Amino acid sequence: MLAANFVVGEDGTTDATPANGSLHRSVEEIFFDLELSPKTKPDVKPRTKRESPEAPAVPRASRSVWITQLLAEKLAEFRPRATGNPECNAQSEIYQQHLKNLTLWAMQMREASAKSASGYLYGQPSQLGNFDECVSVQDTAPGVSGRYCLAKIEFSPTYRLYPEYYSFPLEGLSPSPDVNVWEYVKKSREPARERRDFVKWAVCVPAACSWKDVEESLREVLADVQKEHNIFVNVTLNERQCSAHQDDGEFPAKSKLFLTFLLVLTGISIVVTGYHHILIHTESTYQGGTFWKIMMGFSMVKSFRSLTNTGGGTNLNGLDGLKFISMVMIIFGHRLMFTLGSAVSNAGNIEKDYLGPSITIISTQLVDTFFTVSGFLTFWLLYPAFKRASRAVIPFTLFYRWLRMMPLYMMILAFFVLVFPYIDDGPLWKTIVWREVERCQENWWTNLLVINNYVNTEKMCTVHGWYLACDLQFFALGALIVYTFTRSQSRGLKMLLTALLFSWVIPFANTYLNDYDGILRSYIRVLSDPISAPHYRDFYVKGHNRAAPYLLGILSAYLVTVLREKKVKISMGMRWFVVLMVAVVAEGSQMYAWKFFDIHTESSLIERSFYAAFHRSLWSLLACSIIIVHLCWGFGSSLEYILCHDFYVPMSRLTFGAFLVHPFLQMYTSADVRAPIYFSHWRMVWMGTGDVFSSYAIAFWLYCIIEAPAGILSSMLKRIIMRQGPRRSKESAPPASVEKAPEVPTTGTYVLTDREAKTTNAEIANVLPRDTVCISSASSVEEPQESATVASFSNYTIKPSDSAQSADRPQELSNKLESMLTPS
């Protein structure tokens, strides 16, 4: 981008110099670093009788004109004049002539430009004009079309005009209403206050003029503002800030092909669902091999049954509730982020939230609840599967987890890159959407390899993709720890505690050595583009800085196993006391972050380092305590009914899709605005509620056409690999300290009752021997869903069958299954 600073010389001439640093710094160098002598200071005019005793020491005409008034006057009849673009000059002349004739299209272009800085002094810098009125000017007789540009115009008074501007920064968010208006423009000591020394001004120009032509012309028009009124002006513009329909071109062929592919998948899903519905009503069963099994994966009926299958009412449903509630809160938080990244009309009101403790601003630990639950499930589901597996199962487990994640993830990224930027437009569309699209076009491969939180983080693809990278990186560490547990619980516990210790030491050291803040200060400028914030990309998204919650989740699963084995009992009162005390600590750790936002409270580097190391762990302890109490003893029938309601099961299974989808929905509604948004907390709740419903609805559609069929394919691939994979070696046999599987034959076919068939894969894996085929006695029972974290790596399958009626089971297996299904 081109930029220039206009500086007044002692002779009154104006020099345009390239902008190296801020405009204000150049002024300070002139009037302070050079230590001006009294001879070079502005002359003070003798006071006249008509002037008040407090009359300024500059001409009153200069002081009486405010910058926004000047901009409105100067740009009212703005027409570009290009030095190297004759077509732009010709169309500008045509535009001027038709303005004189009051031609409709010319008046539309004039009216589409901003006319005044409405609401600027209330925190509304964006003067958006009327985007659609401008770009709708097409196919005119002279061949002129409209181009909409949103220029950033920075300004500040010269020392001659208002010397107090360069004396001391503003204290607080807003000055007294009785002071000079330039005090409002000053930089503030309060970091929460956004800059006020600029406006974004919309101009509608002939489309033949490029953004460079518009920028150059705006500079020329506003150059005399400094001469006449002692106000520095700096104009910047770039390609993303200008839009015209003639620039759009045709919808790319690859984008059409991708949309066609999505429509074909949707059509297949509709047809297969209809076929499945007919089979249900005619009480028939579908026949076919692998192809038909894959096709039935597109059935919405089958998908709905898989999503709503509660696994026989296992008490892991409480974790589903935690995941869903956390996802809802994250969606609300991201709604706030994307709204503040758009144009708002009341930034002054928003900034007041930073003056006192606000959960809305400092709730950056919500995602750590997901890490805690994920860590718990890693141990809970992999431990029984790894007990009878060799070391070779670890890389296969990682590959299978990656394989289950990537189809939906890559499809959504492909839609974002190929289709999303072409579905709408607006004053901010290119600035917000195309900025993110270009990052993904360049770095999508880092998301595929789940290294996007370490490689090219300054151009990270998607603002939320770092979580998936961290999750899979943590899963690799967690799988190694769980495998160690299956060989020796003491060695596994030592390894886990060592990793947990390092997960505290590393963020402490990073904060201390690099003088970080200790927390992501989520000011408006950070939320508008987090990837551009150094703390976000250098500290916040790094896995080694936030592994502690995941490891605490693994530790929680181990403690649940030990407490269940030892049959430890505690009273209901003690359960509530423990959870409530942990809740106070967790919320206290979150609210303590406010100290790092308050400029009036000093915080030492060592304090910030300790907070960076432990605040996520303290928050995660709340989720850990709820999980442990819930799975070991419970909170009472009433609360357990709410916590373990079957409603959470399908919502939890759709959470992955909702997590991937919701930022793009919020980006869409923030980037296509035509007028600044009024921000209020209730409006955010209303919009966030819509985001939740929309995200989960789209997640269900994507589950039916992508996630479920891809899950069937990956499960088939898993079985093929496991049949041909290495058998367990003698060295990999579990030690005596680890509970062995029941002694039952290693081959055979066993019939599960309806009740048994509803158990989860993880529970069956803990009982069934290797190479066992289990056949359900009820044909209506669907094959249990295999989630990305389910421990389904043992060589067994569960197949519904009408004909399996007379197979016998060993008595040991029957007793084990019955005891597993009987509540304690």
Residue with tokens 């409006």: 683
Q: 532 — phi, psi (to 5°)?
A: -80, -10
Question: Is residue 145 scored above 50 in pLDDT?
Answer: yes
Closest CA to 252 of 410, 448, 420: 420
At 276-330, the pLDDT tens digits run 888 888 876 666 678 888 888 899 999 999 998 876 555 677 899 899 999 999 9
Strands 231-236 and 772-776: unpaired
Of residues 468, 446, 519, the one with CA closest to residue 663: 468
> What H or E segment, with its residue span, contains residue 231?
strand 231-236
pLDDT tens for residues 564-598?
Answer: 999 999 999 999 999 999 999 998 888 888 888 87
Minimum mean pLDDT range among 390-394, 428-432, 672-676: 390-394
Q: What is the mean pLDDT of residues 380-391?
A: 87
Q: In the structure, what pLDDT confidence band is assigned to residue 59 with cuts at 50, 70 and 90? A: very low
What is the model's pLDDT at position 457?
94
**How is the chain split into domains, by residue range?**
4-248, 315-715, 741-821
Q: Where does the pLDDT of residue 62 fall: very low under 50, low under 70, confident under 90, or very high at 90 and above?
A: very low
Confidence of residue 640 (pLDDT cuts 50, 70, 90): confident
Average pLDDT for 358-375: 83
Among 365, 334, 358, CA closest to 597:
358
Q: What angle do CA 484, 490, 493 make, to 5 degrees?
A: 70
Residue 631's alpha-carbon distances to 489, 549, 764, in angstroms, are 21, 19, 18
Note whether 795 and 722 are within 8 A (CB): yes
C-alpha pair distances (Å), 288 with each of 264, 266, 267, 280, 799: 22, 22, 21, 16, 14
* Beta-sheet pairing, 146-157 with 242-243: antiparallel
Say what the pLDDT of residue 315 is.
66
- Cα dihedral 487, 817, 727, 555, rounded to 10, equals -30
Among 417, 469, 465, which Cα is nearest to 441's? 417
pLDDT of residue 595: 83
Residues 104-114, mean pLDDT to the nearest whole number: 95
How far is residue 151's CA from residue 221's CA, in Å, rounded to a whole number?
13
Q: Where does residue 93 rank: exposed (0-12), middle (13-18), buried (19+ CB within 10 A)? A: middle
Check if the beta carbon of residue 821 is closer than 8 Å to that of residue 756: yes
Contact 233, 4 (CB under 8 A): no
Window from 280-284, 351-355, 754-758 with minimum mean pLDDT: 754-758
Report, as an integer, the average pLDDT of 455-477.
95
- Listed range (10-24, 347-361, 747-761) with the worst mean pLDDT: 10-24
Cα–Cα nearest to 517, from 537, 541, 535: 535
Q: Which residue has the tokens 């899709």?
A: 657
Q: What is the pLDDT of residue 799?
A: 39
pLDDT of 231 > 90? The answer is yes
Would you place residue 778 in the very low, low, confident or very high pLDDT band (cuts 50, 70, 90)? very low
Q: What percent of the chain has pLDDT over 70?
A: 78
Q: Which residue has the tokens 């479920």?
A: 708
Which residues, including other chains, have CB under 8 Å from residue 10's CB and lie 6 or more apart?
40
